[in-house]
Structure 1
Amino acid sequence: MTLSGFVTDSRSAWGKSAARGAETHHLVHHSADVAAVFLTLLDQPHWRARAEAAVGRVLSAHEMRCLGALVFLHDIGKLAPGFQAKAWPEGHGLTLRGHLECGWLWANLPRQDALAGAIVHLARWPGMGEWLAALFAHHGRPVPKPGSGKASEAFPLLPGYDWQAEEAVLGKALLHWFPEIATAAPPPPAPTFLHFFCGLLTLADWVGSDRRAFPFEAQFRPNYWQTAQERAEARVAAIELGSSPPLRGPAGWGLISDYPAPRPAQQALGALPTEERLILLEAETGAGKTEAALWRFAALLEAGEVDALYFAVPTRAAARQLHSRINLALRRMFDVAPEAVLAIPGQAVAGEAVGTRLPDFNVLWDDGEKNPARWAAEHSARYLAARVAVGTVDQVALGGLQVKFAHLRGTALSRALLVIDEVHASDPYMTETQGALVRSHLALGGHVLLMSATLGAAARRKWRSEPQGDLAADAALPYPAVWTSWGLHPVVADPDGAKTVQVTAHDGWSGADAAQLAIEAARHGARVLVIRNTVARAQETFAACRDHAPDLLLAVNEIPTLHHSRFAVEDRALLDDAVERAIGKVSPLGGRIVIGTQTLEQSLDLCADLLITDLCPMDVLLQRIGRLHRHRRPRPDGFAAARAVILRPEDGLDPLTHRADNGLGAFENGPSLSGVYVDVPGLAATLDQIIEHPVWQIPAMNRALVEAATHPQALERIAEAHGWQSYRMRVTGKALAEMQTAGLCVLDRAAPMLMPNGRVRCFPDDENIRTRLGESGVVLTLPESTVGAFGRPITRLALPAHWSRGLTGDEIVSVTPGQPVTITVSDRAFIYGPEGLRQGGGNDA
């Protein structure tokens, strides 16, 4: 058939618009753009392989063309006059409508001549209801079906705009550009494939909606499909969604490092076949796990197993530090190196370039370049589509939960090696949500590398879907080790990795207690790292040090400060750099004190002389000790041996089973256990090991220490000895409840998108799920020229979730300049300065 001369006399339907409707892109053209991007993605080997893994067989060329035809109809609801009127001059008198709802309403208008008769072919395809549910979820979440009786209201016949004529244009283009639909059909919409399709469609829609690559054409052009294909191929390549550039050379150790030979853990990982898709590397902090992961990435890339890398770490500070290391490594590995994206919400960073978001949704990069490959860095939902990204583990978890853009995140990640650094068992909810995405990632043929210095057997067995084991047997397993589908592979001990640590319990954990210990050591030349369990206790410790020794404190622009999560994004970047300069690998000798919270405990390459830390679970404590004597370098007198002082409450641990204090224990008679670390039996087990073994040999004792304080059998014995059986039951119940809660929130990619009654499986409230992940609460947009804690402009400030109740983020924010500044929003006042964000009343719980 031909499209020549087929035009309508009325107003044309638009698919994209700008300048209040003065500039438009024809609906058929936009539909073609997105379908062309989708098919171009499906032509890439890795996207094709993941799609075929999801469907369970090879896709035929005709099936893929039929999938493209479905994608072509993703915006069919935009035909509705109530949607088109959004770009019309005022006075049209129509009720404005969303195009996704209108898509369902259009489907409730059964007509034999719909889409110029193409509807007859589509109607014979099985599972069209499921396909429509996926099509109308392309803005990030499934959309419920509206009442069928509203269809005629949404599609009235009007003078000046004939939606049926415009539908005929769309239908004729469909028949002309996708003639396969007359004789073929897409694969059946099996759930796993449908969820993958939904994510790939969302990705294609985002790419195909970018005016920089798909310029507007308002008047329908019959030969536009060729243009759309050419633009799609160019754009997919430019933003690095196509095949990876070749490595600089063979994927051997020499590609990764100048060191003459890999260390034992690195060698063990490097020797594994590329067919292994789930690997767990257990090795001490400082064992070179990052380089091992990069070596694995290079091997998989060379073998054609993956096309991208996402490196997930626990904290934003760790992500920033690792991001710099990864960028250096990429320049060594590739002739044309991709820029690693920093996957931290609220930031746009690619390589060394930093972007500023503009009001028109574009980004201005500080190096002046307009590099299309930075596209993935410009929105947090696109981070996982980057060739290489380094970010927080919550971005991975969001791909496994029923939250907006979960389908996009999961599908985008499918081509990548997913590395999760420092997995451990202290958060059952996070473990469950990470596990959900890992399982779906593996089901699509993806590769996963889990790394930990402190993973207990109970958590490891859960990751590996194994039954629980015996304490004695689990504690006797070799360490370090690599786990694969073949089981445990012992790793030879690294002679350069051994570390002796003197551990001491200190009675008293007030801010004054910690400050006194830190000041005394710093005055003897030690670089002291103080890690407190809560922001409030960290601020208390900082205030005590500032009163007596401000010159010894961490400083930014000569302003004494501390490190925690309640700083503006711009100030956090300054803090991260200052910490690395103060106690990093190449930090100078000289006494100083760095005070922080959990933001400093994991995945950071710090090298303190002395650690002062609150009591915490054993796996967390070993992570904190990993920031101590990490490298062989000169030490001040009296600190040649690594030392850790663990602060504990003077009145013992029993009160913590009735009331929470300093992030430990739980509130009495509360509806549920609440606190940072509620497992008091686990804390008691950790304290027992500190007292019984004042000298720890790392990594030789890692396995025994972790099992003694995390294994269920060990904790049951501790609870019985202290009479904490009922409390232990509550802790276990809380963990089970958190896992069940996570299970309710997990996106089940094996479930159909329609329920048996025909209703769409919609997502629950995003905010409740995101808050449970530990994401920030309301983000306040500050007035222009607001000066932050260190004299630099700041633009936004995130409130903790429990300070955000009743706020939307749309309130007017007023700032009273000063040091500190006072920030007023609604009926609340906050103080922001070198101590971070505090409530106006001083209650920083």
Structure 2
Amino acid sequence: MADSPDVDLELWGKSRGLRGSRYPLICHLLDTAAAAEALWDGYISPGLRRVVAAELGVDEGRARGLLAYWAGLHDIGKCTAGFQKQDEDGFARLNGYPSVDAEAIKHAFAAHVWLGQALVGAGYRTGRKSAPAFRVAQLLGGHHGTFAPFNHWEFTDPLGSVPALGEGRWEEQRQAIAETVYELVGRPEPPQRISAAGAALACGLVILADWLVSQDSFLLERIGEGLPKRGDVSGLKRHLSRSRAVLPAVLREAGLGRLGFKPGGFTDDFPFQPNDLQKSLSERLPALLDGDPGLLLITVPMGEGKTEAALFAGRLMGEAAGMPGYFFGLPTMATSDQMLRRVDEFRSRRVEGADSLTLLHSMAWLNAAYTGEGEESGVLTSDPMAARWLMGSKRGLLANLAVGTIDQALLAVLRGRHNVLRMLGLSGKVLIVDEVHAYDAFMQGLLKRLLEWLGALRVPVVLLSATLPAGVGRRLAEAYLVGAGIRDPQVPQVVYPGWIYASPKHAASVPVRCPERRLRVETRDVPLDAEGRPDRSAALREALGPLVREGGCAAVICNTVAEAQLTYLALREWLDEVVPAEADAPQLRLLHSRFEAHRREKITQEVVSWFGKDAADRSRRSAILVATQVIEQSLDLDFDLVVSDLAPIALLLQRAGRCHRHAKFDAERPQWARDMRLVVLNPVDADGKPVVPRAWPFVYPAALLRRTREVLARLPEGRVIIPGDVQGLVDQVYDESFGDADTPITEEDLERLADEQTKDLYAQMAAIPAPLGIDDLSKLSGDDFVTEYSTRLGADSGRIVCCTRDADGRLMLGDESLPVDPQGKKGDRTWFTKDQVRLVLNHSIPVPGTWLRGASDGAATPPTWAASPHLSEIVVVELSGEQGVGLLGDREVRLCKDLGLSDLPAGVC
């Protein structure tokens, strides 16, 4: 780049929210360069710095300079007439710029087009799509979250192909800006190559740097301190120096910094002695961590300390890789809420430095356990300023410690906006994925692609499961190793109970000892009623009779919400019949997903107080909990007996894990409950032949139900030895190489395989390519895929709130008016306050998406909610009449305190 004139300070880069002022474009670009330097120096973990440098083919010092340079060019597309005209007063102050008749283009695309040729002057090579000049142009053009496709003509002749860039002084100033940034950041030597993974991380860092210095508070403070009077190099150098001086504090206020762990071993991490699993990790794992990072898969029974093992092993792996910190991914919001407490306790004992802890799921900020005082931050931290910044959209993964639903991580490999920012957030820490068995083929497909990327980025990974098919575990480990560059990955044999470790350098399979327990499994046939639902009444009365007579506690787990509601009603009627009025009947509760959020939270807290590990007065309590799958993984509960609908064997074993879970209660159990016992309800038709109720295939594949039934029928003496029998049982049911004499192939098996293959295909279509398969960064983008294929394929759902009208005709949520008019106001801008949003979300209920299709006029989203990210997709259902009936299309729904929302016939509440 040749010598150039001074930069025109009238070219503005920021104006919104600046109280009538305009912030010079060059100042914003230099601020962003300084932010990239500060992030490299004070936030990006040592291990991630090594990875980024390697992916750019340079050393760490050069990588720092390159990232600052690129960050300083990201908004150069704002030096166009189309952008400058967005502020009429600012545009009027520009002198000597030729008019541009072409249709305006977005400034990110302008940068994308212009930089491909402009970087040649700084020594960047062109040629192939992945040539450094083109790759930097594409990655900087993607700083708003999506990448434009590669077009060779645009890159080689930007002014000819895109007239909207403008010639004359427009081009002169773009050259001047680029030369000034290049000079002030030290004229970094260009790289000879930039991998797709390196480009993704670089773009993520640029986005983060841009966001930090685009805060109104930062810009107003810079304006208050005084901006350069001239656009010469010396004046702009002083501005850059001032920005460099203040940015470390900006990072601290945002909660971005380095995390470290206090030195010590397992007993420093946790206030108890390690069990055999934890001890084996302590003794064997450190010797495997001397090479590139790897993947650890822990497969042990329920209740064997997997969480503590993961936090401990994750600490060792993170420290060895120079990537301390965690994202703990779980299958549900409830499991995430529970895990938050445990990670927070660990953090308080063992973490030093920037210790912000975020909770990431759609309802996180309603959780009173961590928000406190009505704050909606979704962040646990010693620095309240961090909460205000990290609570922002798409920022939570940037915290050094995070807990959330696994879809928050999988979004990093969906072709959607800002996926590279999510990838950056995941890349500097250890990924822990719990309950790996809980994900269907679509999510497993996305998880494999995520593991491939994390393998390429040398990110340590820990996977946890109590009931994982060995083939699934092997494929997940293979995906990681393929990403790490191993062409023919050799994964060690999955052991149960035990753990395997797989890295480019090491492979280990380590069995561990776990206490042996004997689970008695009883199968009871249940007929179908006139509606085709299982009639559990007789079987439940027989199984629960001893509890009614002698006391104790039991869980009854149903496969659908409607069946759980009917079962609750049948048990309530039975208890009223058999328990004398003067006697204490067992307490009966119902828990499922279709309660209002505040009601579900209250029931959950009550259930935990009754059946949790810290439950008091257990011996004097007689209680029955009717529930759906929500207690399978989400709650640490202990029952004397578990009764369950037939379900795939892995999930039956999960449910059985809630029986006799805590040995400290064994002495208090009634005589009838001395054995660990699971009663499985097996639906049969009028001829006594096994049958699958019509609603169940929407929940579980019929093939898995049939194969589970067959496996249960072959149990020796109706017993399962835990852990010895677990892996064999799981593999018998889920094994894809079926078709022997014991389990002949059926049409149901073929349907299951076809369904899984379809879901895996959808995952491949929705996911970004593997790192080595990307020559054009636009392959990382595609919002249509995020919309069309939600992360949980098949989990088609929505949310509603149920309202009534008062005497004045107002819609009411409980005792308060439905907020349809935003109360927040600043100038011309209005918004719904956090109290208004909290009121609605606390009364929201998840429902199947099929319930919302063809919704009637009495079920709609208020137009004023359209601009609210929290409210825009919530449907309001008006309940009317004496029985409080609402309509969703032609479906009648009712809401009552004990049952929650139901579409059962009138009179059941």
Aligned mates of 2:366, 2:318 — CA distance in 1: 24
Residue 177 (structure 2) pairs with residue 170 (structure 1): yes
> Aligned letter for 1:678?
P
Counterpart for residue 807 of structure 2:
none
Q: Check conservation: 1:398, 1:406, Cα contact below 8 A.
A: yes
> Aligned letter for 2:240?
W
Using the TM superposition, give the Cα deviation of residue 101 of structure 1 relative to its aligned residue in structure 2, in angstroms: 3.0
Using the TM superposition, give the Cα deviation of residue 293 of structure 1 relative to its aligned residue in structure 2, in angstroms: 1.2
Counterpart for residue 17 of structure 2:
18
Using the TM superposition, give the Cα deviation of residue 282 of structure 1 relative to its aligned residue in structure 2, in angstroms: 1.3
Counterpart selection for 1:41 from 39, 42, 45: 39
Counterpart for residue 524 of structure 2:
506
Counterpart selection for 1:611 from 602, 621, 642: 642
Counterpart for residue 498 of structure 2:
481
Counterpart selection for 1:704 from 717, 728, 747: 728
Structure 1 unaligned blocks of 5 or more: 468-473, 553-558, 665-674
Residue 160 (structure 2) pairs with residue 135 (structure 1): no
Q: Check conservation: 2:379, 2:387, Cα contact below 8 A.
A: no
Counterpart for residue 288 of structure 1:
305
Aligned mates of 2:736, 2:894 — CA distance in 1: 44
Using the TM superposition, give the Cα deviation of residue 645 of structure 1 relative to its aligned residue in structure 2, in angstroms: 1.2
Structure 2 unaligned blocks of 5 or more: 93-98, 229-235, 482-490, 527-533, 579-586, 804-810, 819-834, 865-874
How many residues matched?
A: 794
Aligned 1:350-365 pairs, distance under 5 A: 353-354=370-371
Aligned mates of 1:187, 1:331 — CA distance in 2: 45
Residue 609 (structure 2) pairs with residue 585 (structure 1): no
The Cα offsets for residues 604-658 of structure 1, whole Å up to 9 and x where unpaired, read as 321122112111111111111112211011213311222111112112999999x
> Aligned letter for 1:651?
D
Q: Check conservation: 1:313, 1:420, Cα contact below 8 A.
A: yes
Q: Check conservation: 1:782, 1:795, Cα contact below 8 A.
A: no
Counterpart for residue 340 of structure 2:
323
Counterpart for residue 75 of structure 1:
75
Secondary structure class of the residue paired with 1:600: helix
Residue 250 (structure 2) pairs with residue 227 (structure 1): no
Using the TM superposition, give the Cα deviation of residue 36 of structure 1 relative to its aligned residue in structure 2, in angstroms: 2.3
Secondary structure class of the residue paired with 1:638: helix
Counterpart selection for 1:447 from 455, 460, 463: 460
Counterpart for residue 434 of structure 1:
447
Using the TM superposition, give the Cα deviation of residue 234 of structure 1 relative to its aligned residue in structure 2, in angstroms: 2.4
Counterpart for residue 308 of structure 1:
325
Q: Check conservation: 2:112, 2:148, Cα contact below 8 A.
A: no
Counterpart for residue 387 of structure 1:
400
Counterpart selection for 1:279 from 285, 292, 296: 296
Counterpart selection for 1:626 from 653, 657, 681: 657
> Aligned letter for 2:635?
L
Using the TM superposition, give the Cα deviation of residue 79 of structure 1 relative to its aligned residue in structure 2, in angstroms: 3.4
Aligned mates of 1:13, 1:394 — CA distance in 2: 38
Q: Alpha carbons of 1:143 and 1:90: their partners in 2 closer, same or farther (altered >3 Å)?
A: same
Aligned 1:588-737 pairs, distance under 5 A: 588=616, 589=618, 590-602=621-633, 604-632=635-663, 633=665, 634-651=668-685, 661-664=694-697, 675-680=698-703, 683-690=706-713, 692-693=715-716, 694-714=718-738, 717-720=741-744, 724-737=745-758
Percent of aligned pairs with the same amino acid: 24
Q: Alpha carbons of 1:697 and 1:199: their partners in 2 closer, same or farther (altered >3 Å)?
A: same
Q: Check conservation: 1:753, 1:761, Cα contact below 8 A.
A: no
> Aligned letter for 2:565?
Q
Counterpart for residue 203 of structure 1:
208
Q: Check conservation: 1:26, 1:217, Cα contact below 8 A.
A: no
Deviates more, 1:216-225 or 1:368-377: 368-377
Q: Check conservation: 1:355, 1:364, Cα contact below 8 A.
A: no
The Cα offsets for residues 313-371 of structure 1, whole Å up to 9 and x where unpaired, read as 2222111112112211221223678353222223238995317999xxxx568999862
Using the TM superposition, give the Cα deviation of residue 441 of structure 1 relative to its aligned residue in structure 2, in angstroms: 0.9
> Aligned letter for 1:242?
G
Aligned mates of 1:53, 1:780 — CA distance in 2: 49
Deviates more, 1:147-156 or 1:764-773: 147-156
Aligned 1:40-439 pairs, distance under 5 A: 40-43=38-41, 44=44, 45-55=46-56, 57-59=57-59, 61-88=61-88, 101-105=106-110, 108=113, 120-121=121-122, 126-144=131-149, 154=164, 167=174, 170-171=177-178, 173-180=180-187, 184-213=189-218, 215=220, 217=222, 220-221=227-228, 222=236, 223-247=238-262, 249-250=263-264, 252-259=265-272, 261-271=273-283, 272-273=285-286, 274-275=289-290, 277-303=294-320, 305-334=322-351, 338-348=355-365, 353-354=370-371, 371-374=384-387, 377-379=390-392, 381-424=394-437, 427-439=440-452
Q: Check conservation: 2:358, 2:380, Cα contact below 8 A.
A: no
Aligned mates of 2:214, 2:417 — CA distance in 1: 18
Q: Alpha carbons of 1:152 and 1:614: their partners in 2 closer, same or farther (altered >3 Å)?
A: same
TM-score normalised by length of structure 2: 0.76
Counterpart for residue 850 of structure 2:
802
> Aligned letter for 2:707?
A
Q: Alpha carbons of 1:489 and 1:640: their partners in 2 closer, same or farther (altered >3 Å)?
A: same
Q: Alpha carbons of 1:572 and 1:748: their partners in 2 closer, same or farther (altered >3 Å)?
A: farther
Using the TM superposition, give the Cα deviation of residue 393 of structure 1 relative to its aligned residue in structure 2, in angstroms: 1.8
Aligned mates of 1:594, 1:800 — CA distance in 2: 24
> Aligned letter for 1:728?
D
Q: Check conservation: 2:84, 2:91, Cα contact below 8 A.
A: no
Cα RMSD between the aligned structures? 4.7
Aligned mates of 2:895, 2:218 — CA distance in 1: 42
Counterpart selection for 2:766 from 717, 722, 745: 745
Using the TM superposition, give the Cα deviation of residue 110 of structure 1 relative to its aligned residue in structure 2, in angstroms: 9.1
Secondary structure class of the residue paired with 1:748: coil
The Cα offsets for residues 290-320 of structure 1, whole Å up to 9 and x where unpaired, read as 1111211332355463221111222221111
Q: Alpha carbons of 1:425 and 1:695: their partners in 2 closer, same or farther (altered >3 Å)?
A: same
Using the TM superposition, give the Cα deviation of residue 214 of structure 1 relative to its aligned residue in structure 2, in angstroms: 5.1
Aligned mates of 1:96, 1:74 — CA distance in 2: 24
Counterpart for residue 530 of structure 1:
556
Aligned mates of 1:367, 1:755 — CA distance in 2: 39
Deviates more, 1:818-827 or 1:608-617: 818-827
Aligned mates of 1:201, 1:550 — CA distance in 2: 66
> Aligned letter for 1:371?
P
Aligned mates of 2:799, 2:239 — CA distance in 1: 43
